[in-house]
Chain A
């Protein structure tokens, strides 16, 4: 297959997979095999583009014109390559995890779940490979809509409410602000193609640059910049694999990826540098970093805490983009990778805890580390990576971001990054400490294989005896599929520490066309 053909296939295959899942929906084993095989093939295809892109090749493919003069077209460049690689790779891991989780948790409507998941991945790849802003917008909206049934999966009134917030904010910002910005850009320049160096230089009055930029950045609601962040905590009512892959990687990273794309290929770093248009948004991002961390500290629900942590971490990337310096862009792009591995591990852990011990609140987790040592060690590793300590990947992206801040003379941002790291310590590490050092609460003794669960298991004949636990000695871990997945991504955090320079070298070409 030529690189040009791989593009439509990698976007289309998850859709074919979704169809396969629908057909095989009656047989769970077959259905999940279809998902897994699709995920592996998609990743192999995406990965096979790596060498071409690395060699400076930019494979492209045009689907056709959607509006006169505006096409649905795709171009693979390093930034998109990285995003696509992450999303498709983690889809495999998440699928393995999901099988353990969904069965352990006895979820309903699993076929619909797997179908929507595949569509969401397809649109994330569409976003990654978009050759112009219109194409990106198309897939951006499909991603929102295809994840709605995942967020409201349980169908409870709470899920319904969360769905409203999710859709309201994401559709609202994208139509009211982003679409306006896109059409405005098109009226000014007559093109929407992603062009190295940007397309707006000389086409827009300097005072209007910051207005247009604000329309874009706030319009990209998926980047969860305050005050448009509420949808992300709301989305946590979804099953944990959704929170893990979509609301820590695919959806939110699609948001910040779009921010980077717009910064680099629509505005161009030079234009932003010359006009200082991004500065006030950088301050908004810095505020978001700190506020979200503080809110995270006050959340007792583990997933809610992680959600606010994600909001905070996403703003690192926005901050990197808005500082309009090469180092900031690089740091932001690398943070997409580093944070993806760290945060997906944390969510996997949260899900594993929920499956094995039915605990969702941090205050209930006293002494749980003794029963689930692997889970909590991985939790610790991922936390250290998020905080930004060596030898884990997270240190590099924070390093570049801090360098960028120092480089552009914004010492205050260096301080923000430092304080934020301390706040990360304050809201992540106590969870691990509590799990290992505190004595188990008396009522948490009666864990999962007690009476309560036997009654539940009676409703699901065939898995009596706790299929949702993996027991060795005194260990009561989640099913092995879950634990294996989270151990793997935790290892990823460690491996990335040694590959940061490779990622950086791969990303460097996106800065061509910029002087800074």
Chain B
């Protein structure tokens, strides 16, 4: 049955479609292909999610070679969750991409853009499904290399330096990760994540194993842009073509967080590693600094794409904070925020994509008076911004509630206070934009601005709408995140 092979089809279909784009070369046809593929991927991931919910973990042996020698793909609640996040973002980004990319990327290179977008999605999905630590590295590189190309594709030449910086930082991160994997292989002779999880408890005191943990954690923290390893992110998001920013902001860092979760809670899950070597203290400190530094810097940005990028740094802080609490509530708060933040930030960057499409700039001063001229787009910005602040009935509130509950359950008072204070900083940077957009008159020289085209508006409103749908009824997402967290922490006890 084909349904038995869904796990591998999830990867193979976009992987095969990418070179096909290069053969086709026609921009419109490649766009149509990418869109269809991204929807197929979404359908597959939702089916997988249903299968996992119905029957539990799915294990797929690649080429029929049994683990731990062969490569194994494993999908449990957590993977299925991340797959759904990545593919649903992919499915709304590709329809949105057409007009935005035509505007911001040289038209004779559009086919490469779609090929790279598909490759990037392949890489991210691969990281998520694979049950093999080395295979994970391979996909990490696939996604990273395609990302470098995507970031540098824009007409803004600063994208080139941003991509170059990411290339260096990203390669360092991936290298650190693979060094860690090598050390583990040296000690255990295994590369299978589940198998490693069984072998490591016996040798957890071994310095080499601990060094491996350190390498892997630092490497992945570069990829997920945890402060102070975030230097590549703001410029990459600000100067990449808008649609690339949407896709990366909503998926790439999330998948890196997923990889870190796998390392900490599955590979090192047998020994309560967060406690044993006290990395949770380090992670919590970094997360809190990220929450404040990210928001504080965001307040002073004049480029709104850059502002949202810094806001992402703060939001990553929330995720890592939740995960390092090392409790079911905390981990589920972190995991639910993966999904929630993907919708919020994806939606907000789509708004900025529409703005750039119409006025050719993401600078705050140039956005004056847009509230009257692009009422729907700016309305979406207000709604998305409220969600980022964490007003009730939005997904941001669900995340914040979960995180606060986790902190108070542990009796961590100061942390709870820091969470609410840092979330208030979002009010400042969001309201700064709202005041300029609604209270200032449009600059005299600007030609009349029309509302964003429908084809960009619908995906944007879909994401913003989802941010409210799952905010009004947060039970589904909280339930899935809770079950994933229980499985992770359960493996630990």
- Chain A residues proximal to chain B, CB less than 8 Å: 64-68, 72, 134, 137-138, 141-142, 145, 152, 155, 160, 163-164, 167-168, 171-172, 175-176, 179-180, 183-184, 186-187
> Is A179 within 8 A of B472, CB to CB?
no
B residues less than 8 Å from A66 (CB atoms):
393, 398, 472-475
> Is B421 within 8 A of A179, CB to CB?
no
> Is A187 within 8 A of B420, CB to CB?
no
> Is B386 within 8 A of A65, CB to CB?
no
> Is B420 within 8 A of A65, CB to CB?
no
Report how far A172 CA is from B431 CA in the complex, Å: 13
Report how far A183 CA is from B393 CA in the complex, Å: 16
- Shortest C-beta distance, B96 to chain A (Å), equals 27
B residues less than 8 Å from A142 (CB atoms):
392-393
A interface: dominant SS: helix
In the complex, the number of residue pairs spanning A and B with C-beta atoms less than 8 Å apart equals 74
> Is B393 within 8 A of A138, CB to CB?
yes
Given A67-B398, A160-B439, A141 and B392 contact (CB-CB distance below 8 Å): yes
Task: With CB as the reference atom, state the residue of chain B lying closest to A67.
Answer: B474
- Shortest C-beta distance, B132 to chain A (Å), equals 34
Instruction: Map CB proximity to A onto B427-444 as digits: 1 under 8 Å, 0 otherwise.
Output: 100010001001100000
B residues less than 8 Å from A68 (CB atoms):
474-475, 478-479, 482
The 8 Å CB contact of B401, one of A167, A168, A183, is A183
Interface segment, one of B17-25, B63-71, B211-219, B403-411: B403-411
A-B contact pairs, 10 of them (CB 8 A): A65-B475, A66-B473, A67-B475, A68-B474, A141-B392, A167-B427, A171-B424, A180-B416, A183-B401, A184-B408
> Is B482 within 8 A of A155, CB to CB?
no
- Shortest C-beta distance, A140 to chain B (Å), equals 8
> Is A171 within 8 A of B417, CB to CB?
no
Any A CB within 8 A of the CB of B423:
yes
> Is A145 within 8 A of B386, CB to CB?
yes
Report how far A160 CA is from B391 CA in the complex, Å: 21
B residues less than 8 Å from A155 (CB atoms):
438-439
> Is A187 within 8 A of B405, CB to CB?
yes
> Is A137 within 8 A of B439, CB to CB?
no
> Is B427 within 8 A of A172, CB to CB?
yes
> Is A168 within 8 A of B427, CB to CB?
yes
Report how far A138 CA is from B468 CA in the complex, Å: 13
- Chain B residues proximal to chain A, CB less than 8 Å: 386, 389-393, 398, 400-402, 404-405, 408-409, 416-417, 420-421, 423-424, 427, 431, 435, 438-439, 472-475, 478-479, 482
> Is B392 within 8 A of A164, CB to CB?
no
Q: Which 7 A-B pairs have the closest CB atoms?
A: A138-B392, A183-B404, A187-B408, A65-B475, A176-B420, A67-B474, A141-B392
> Is B405 within 8 A of A176, CB to CB?
no
Given A67-B478, A138-B392, A168-B427, A176 and B401 contact (CB-CB distance below 8 Å): no
Report how far A7 CA is from B472 CA in the complex, Å: 18
Report how far A213 CA is from B424 CA in the complex, Å: 22
- Shortest C-beta distance, B54 to chain A (Å), equals 20
A residues less than 8 Å from B473 (CB atoms):
64-66
> Is A160 within 8 A of B386, CB to CB?
no
Report how far A411 CA is from B236 CA in the complex, Å: 67
Given A65-B473, A180-B404, A171 and B439 contact (CB-CB distance below 8 Å): no
Report how far A64 CA is from B393 CA in the complex, Å: 12
B residues less than 8 Å from A164 (CB atoms):
431, 435
- Shortest C-beta distance, A15 to chain B (Å), equals 13
Report how far A138 CA is from B404 CA in the complex, Å: 16
> Is B416 within 8 A of A175, CB to CB?
no
- Shortest C-beta distance, A66 to chain B (Å), equals 6
> Is A179 within 8 A of B420, CB to CB?
yes
Report how far A54 CA is from B263 CA in the complex, Å: 61
A residues less than 8 Å from B475 (CB atoms):
65-68
> Is B424 within 8 A of A67, CB to CB?
no
B residues less than 8 Å from A180 (CB atoms):
404, 416-417, 420
> Is A175 within 8 A of B386, CB to CB?
no
Given A65-B475, A68-B482, A172-B427, A186 and B405 contact (CB-CB distance below 8 Å): yes
Report how far A103 CA is from B129 CA in the complex, Å: 64
Given A164-B431, A187-B408, A141 and B391 contact (CB-CB distance below 8 Å): yes
Task: With CB as the reference atom, state the residue of chain B lying closest to A172.
Answer: B424
B residues less than 8 Å from A183 (CB atoms):
401, 404-405, 408, 416
- Shortest C-beta distance, B44 to chain A (Å), equals 28
Given A142-B392, A160-B435; 9 other pairs, CB 8 A cutoff: A66-B393, A66-B473, A67-B474, A155-B438, A155-B439, A167-B431, A175-B424, A179-B404, A184-B408
Task: With CB as the reference atom, state the residue of chain B lying closest to A138.
Answer: B392
- Shortest C-beta distance, B347 to chain A (Å), equals 18
B residues less than 8 Å from A184 (CB atoms):
408, 416
The 8 Å CB contact of A137, one of B392, B404, B424, B479, is B392
Report how far A145 CA is from B389 CA in the complex, Å: 12
- Shortest C-beta distance, A217 to chain B (Å), equals 17
A residues less than 8 Å from B423 (CB atoms):
175
- Shortest C-beta distance, B349 to chain A (Å), equals 23
Task: With CB as the reference atom, state the residue of chain B lying closest to A63.
Answer: B472
Given A67-B475, A138-B392, A183-B404, A152 and B417 contact (CB-CB distance below 8 Å): no
A residues less than 8 Å from B438 (CB atoms):
155
- Shortest C-beta distance, A371 to chain B (Å), equals 37
Report how far A369 CA is from B304 CA in the complex, Å: 54
A residues less than 8 Å from B401 (CB atoms):
67, 183
Among the interface residues A72, A180, A183, which one has the most CB atoms of the partner chain B within 10 A?
A183
B residues less than 8 Å from A179 (CB atoms):
400, 404, 420
Report how far A183 CA is from B333 CA in the complex, Å: 14
Report how far A7 CA is from B431 CA in the complex, Å: 34
B residues less than 8 Å from A168 (CB atoms):
427
B residues less than 8 Å from A167 (CB atoms):
427, 431
B residues less than 8 Å from A176 (CB atoms):
417, 420-421, 424
> Is B478 within 8 A of A175, CB to CB?
no
Task: With CB as the reference atom, state the residue of chain B lying closest to A183.
Answer: B404
Report how far A64 CA is from B471 CA in the complex, Å: 12
Task: With CB as the reference atom, state the residue of chain B lying closest to A184.
Answer: B408
Task: With CB as the reference atom, state the residue of chain B lying closest to A71.
Answer: B475
Task: With CB as the reference atom, state the residue of chain A lying closest to B423.
Answer: A175
Report how far A160 CA is from B386 CA in the complex, Å: 18
Given A67-B398, A155-B439, A168-B427, A187 and B409 contact (CB-CB distance below 8 Å): yes
Report how far A171 CA is from B420 CA in the complex, Å: 11
A residues less than 8 Å from B392 (CB atoms):
134, 137-138, 141-142
B residues less than 8 Å from A65 (CB atoms):
473, 475
Task: With CB as the reference atom, state the residue of chain A lying closest to B427.
Answer: A171
> Is B439 within 8 A of A152, CB to CB?
yes
Report how far A179 CA is from B416 CA in the complex, Å: 10
- Shortest C-beta distance, B26 to chain A (Å), equals 44
Among the interface residues B421, B478, B482, which one has the most CB atoms of the partner chain A within 10 A?
B478
Task: With CB as the reference atom, state the residue of chain A lying closest to B439.
Answer: A160
B residues less than 8 Å from A137 (CB atoms):
392
Report how far A340 CA is from B395 CA in the complex, Å: 36
Report how far A183 CA is from B423 CA in the complex, Å: 15
- Shortest C-beta distance, A489 to chain B (Å), equals 33
A residues less than 8 Å from B482 (CB atoms):
68
- Shortest C-beta distance, A18 to chain B (Å), equals 15
Task: With CB as the reference atom, state the residue of chain B lying closest to A178.
Answer: B420
- Shortest C-beta distance, B478 to chain A (Å), equals 5
Task: With CB as the reference atom, state the residue of chain A lying closest to B408.
Answer: A187
- Shortest C-beta distance, A312 to chain B (Å), equals 28
- Shortest C-beta distance, B332 to chain A (Å), equals 10
Task: With CB as the reference atom, state the residue of chain A lying closest to B407.
Answer: A183
Task: With CB as the reference atom, state the residue of chain A lying closest to B417.
Answer: A180
A residues less than 8 Å from B439 (CB atoms):
152, 155, 160
Task: With CB as the reference atom, state the residue of chain A lying closest to B391.
Answer: A141
- Shortest C-beta distance, A273 to chain B (Å), equals 26
Report how far A67 CA is from B438 CA in the complex, Å: 34
A residues less than 8 Å from B472 (CB atoms):
64, 66, 72
B residues less than 8 Å from A67 (CB atoms):
398, 401-402, 474-475, 478
Task: With CB as the reference atom, state the residue of chain B lying closest to A144.
Answer: B391
- Shortest C-beta distance, B173 to chain A (Å), equals 34
